Structure 1
């Protein structure tokens, strides 16, 4: 007969069913993944009063049964007594986020920094591993020390970084923890995040707070970039390189990040690091290499390049020479273009190319209008319309390009204050907090990965204006699309007039190929410019119609429409049919957290005031007081208005959730 642990006494308040099931309750806090429930586990909804009365002290603490816990503690048991696994009651309350029970234990003299468990860690360590920000805040309010090391030599900031609990990382730094704190082996939180977390957070947050990218650990001499290469963490590697990660740094074995990538057989990473090393080497050896390494020079090349490409493709066929000679002219131009693209273009210039193409297309189209088409336009009114539209287009483009779209600004003191306020009010969640800008995000805002800033009422980042489209410049962007569509349409109309005067085109007689031949024979340049004009008209007009539909009919931004599942304030729950006793809410309204099976999800914008008013609100039209646009400061609006009769109404953005974790 197998001998049982002497501590497994059914009459002992610390006895729990897992003594007979080989500790399957997951007492070891390793990991942070919640293990399966032990044999004999009873779902909370099915626990009867009789079951609760039979719970031992550990099980009652795990399930949050405050009355049963109080009953057993008041019977005279020491709140700091350790169970057979050397785990205290406060540990069990912390890992299961039982805030009321923690308050009760502390009132009974519980030691907040008591070490226990297989990893010899404190309740604060346990709560941190599980990602319970509420419990971390509560324990620290009772004096828990987050800088204490557990049996593995990690403090709480190391644990929160390696398990990806970004909100806890932010709170700990705001409470004064060193962003580059070293664990037993000399690893920083950034090293842990780079090695363990395959995502932007919390590495991005640590870098924003000034974490050292090139600091080396004591045991291996690895930098954060080494650790990211070991795990093939491409997302974090990109962050490290953008923040000045040293690709030449060698660890104690003499291995660089490239060497590690080769050992890990990571082909994509090897190619990327080798290209960076080659570029750095070339920058030291030649003038061309130095120019290619100069970001400002490369950006200027990217702006000028489309002007020459569009010109060459249209100009060479326009020459009065044989096609064989024209083909010969194309060859050096093609080689030169490839060399320029190879030396000066990379993914960092991707956002420059579209706006450069816009500038080039608009310039050569205007030249074509005045040089080729103007003589064939009989009505002076068309010239007036063209010039007026060109002026309005230039104005709206400039305003959409240069206007602050609604960037959210904050200094370090405000960021720390915001983190503390959100954490201590239990509203520090990543959907409402930017881990890069370290600010509370207003409703409808989003962090732009291109601009690397948060934008109020974010619509999208538009490469054609090289700027975000947000609260302050959305109406200019719509004006840009409208007047550009008109300009492109005028351009096509002018080309049609040109062809009508210069060549007789009969699609029935000549067919498509014959008609194209006649157009090319008259002027290859005009044909080429018209081809560009038609291409741009397709996407510009389509985008304009899509934008107006979203603005007027849906009252959504592009970001909200594409990510509508993420925004709870746009979720409207209703019953499919009337039911009795299935839901605590009415049949017309049901909360997202309700477990009623007879409900339906509908996406509805709470900002919709009707098609006309939505457009008026965007452009701010007044028209002698006949129109009254709604003015909203989207940089400081964090919640929906819930009062009856308010402009926007809907559910609160902050809704409490019961988070059960039985370990």
Structure 2
């Protein structure tokens, strides 16, 4: 589901990619990691995963739980990647409370991460019910909720926030390796409804991302998203919050095209704090992008099941 987002002319995006050592036996994978994999799948790949699982699950020692691809994927990872939903649900039902559910591949992705990346809310729901740990992070420090906030899946967002109530407060406070909490990811994407939901769920509206101390309001100004600026102010965002370089949201309006944002923040900013600090260059967009920006793709293994199993 595509969520409504405010206008965002300078939108930045983040991905869940990475590289890992090649290890493991029996299953062979392609080297490339492709965006969601859906366009690159062949019809027989889903069948291959299901067939291999059916051949192995009859054994009492459950060998399908022990096999890994060269990229560290289990059969459950493969079933999620290739949307072999029936096989995935069978594996989940056979693994309630089992650490198998939380095995991380070479990119430190669990099956839950991949279910979110591929947009499969049914599997997200089943994994959470079976005991999958929603607080685990991938090799970019992203929880499954970080990824959902970036992709804007309302269904996955609802399942993740309702399906792990005890873990949720800690997840909302977890920064990824770009220093961003979920509220920062949602602000960057401009998902207004998800931002409201995060605040209602207890996310700190004035949390500072760790690159340079920007809050969601700073990011909204940077991205020239007037609707997001108005929403954050309405929800109580602190207009006097300083970045590590000493800049408040109003300071970031200098040299920007949207005069409506500047007018609103001018009125709300204390007169004696409106002047730019001396360290004007410390919070430049270029510095921010160098520190935090990543490619605009979700990436994971596109895998075929081959060889003996």
Q: Determine if the TM-score, normalized by the shorter chain, exceeds 0.5.
A: yes
User: Which of 99, 114, 136 lines up with 1:126 in the alignment?
Assistant: 114
Matched, 1:153 2:141: yes
> 1:171 and 1:8 mapped to 2: Cα distance?
33
Q: CA deviation at 1:248?
A: 2.7
| Counterpart residue number, 2:53 | 69
- Native 8 Å contact 2:68 2:75 kept in 1: yes
Which residue among 218, 230, 250 is the counterpart of 1:226?
Answer: 218
Structure ID, larger Rg: 1
* 1:97–1:134 CA contact under 8 A, matched in 2: no
Contact 2:24 2:68 in 1 (8 A): no
Alignment check: 8 A CA contact 1:249 1:257 kept: yes
Paired residues for 1:349-364 under 5 Å: none
Post-superposition offset of 1:85 = 1.6
> Equivalents in 1 of 2:270, 2:248: separation in Å?
19
Q: Which one of 202, 209, 233 corresponds to residue 201 of structure 2?
A: 209
Distance 2:219 2:142 in 1: 17
> What is aligned with 1:629?
none
Superposition RMSD on alpha carbons, in Å? Answer: 3.4
Identify, as 1 or 2, the structure richer in helix: 1
- TM-score (structure 2 length as normaliser): 0.66
Alpha-carbon separation, structure 2, partners of 1:189 and 1:258? 23
1:23-72, CA deviations, whole angstroms, 9 ceiling, x for partnerless residues?
36x3xxxx6x446316xx3xx4xxxxxxx6xx6xx8622xxxx3453025
Aligned to 2:256: 266
SS of 1:23's equivalent in the other structure is: strand
Cα gap change, 1:132 to 1:74, in 2 (>3 Å) = same
User: In structure 1, the residue corresponding to 2:101 is in which secondary structure?
Assistant: coil
Structure 2 distance, partners of 1:211, 1:102, is 32
State the Cα distance separating 1:124 from its structure 2 match: 1.0
Report the counterpart of residue 37 of structure 1 in structure 2: 40
Instruction: With a CA cutoff of 8 Å and minimum separation of 6, indicate the structure with the bigger relative contact order.
Output: 2
Matches of residues 258-297 of structure 1 in structure 2 within 5 Å?
A: 258-262=250-254, 266-268=256-258, 271-280=259-268
1:94 aligned to 74, 80, 89, which one? 80
Structure 1 residue 281 displacement after superposition: 6.1
Partner of 1:634: none
Secondary structure, counterpart of 2:54 in structure 1: helix
1:246 equivalenced with 2:225 (yes/no): no
Residue 114 of structure 1 is matched in structure 2 by 103
Kindly indicate whether the alpha-carbon contact (under 8 Å) linking 1:91 and 1:122 is maintained by their aligned counterparts in 2: yes
Contact 1:166 1:205 (8 Å CA) reproduced: no
CA 1:223 to 1:276, structure 2 compared with 1: closer, same or farther past 3 Å?
A: same
Q: Contact 2:64–2:75 (CA<8 Å) still a contact in 1?
A: no
Paired with 1:79 and 1:146, the residues of 2 have a C-alpha distance of 20
Which residues of structure 2 form unaligned runs of 5+? 1-21, 273-301, 304-309
Query: CA shift at 1:7, angstroms?
Result: 8.4
Instruction: String of CA shifts for 1:253-289, please: whole Å, max 9, x gaps.
Output: 1222233344xx5311xx22331244246999xxxxx
Q: TM-score, normalised by structure 1?
A: 0.33
CA displacement, residues 533-565 of structure 1 (integer Å, 9 cap, x when unaligned): xxxxxxxxxxxxxxxxxxxxxxxxxxxxxxxxx
Residue 189 of structure 1 corresponds to 182
Is the Cα–Cα contact under 8 Å of residues 53 and 75 in structure 2 kept in the other structure? Answer: no
- Alpha-carbon displacement from aligned partner over 1:114-170 (angstroms, at most 9, x marks no partner): 0113x2121111112233221111111111010112221222222211221233223
Separation in 2, partners of 1:110, 1:213: 34
The question of whether the paired residues in 1 share the 8 Å contact of 2:142 and 2:176 is answered with yes
Superposed CA deviations along residues 294-330 of structure 1, whole A, max 9, x for unmatched, are xxxxxxxxxxxxxxxxxxxxxxxxxxxxxxxxxxxxx
* Contact 1:99–1:138, Cα closer than 8 Å, also in 2: no
Task: Kindly tell me the number of residue pairs found equivalent between the two proteins.
Answer: 243
Partner of 2:289: none
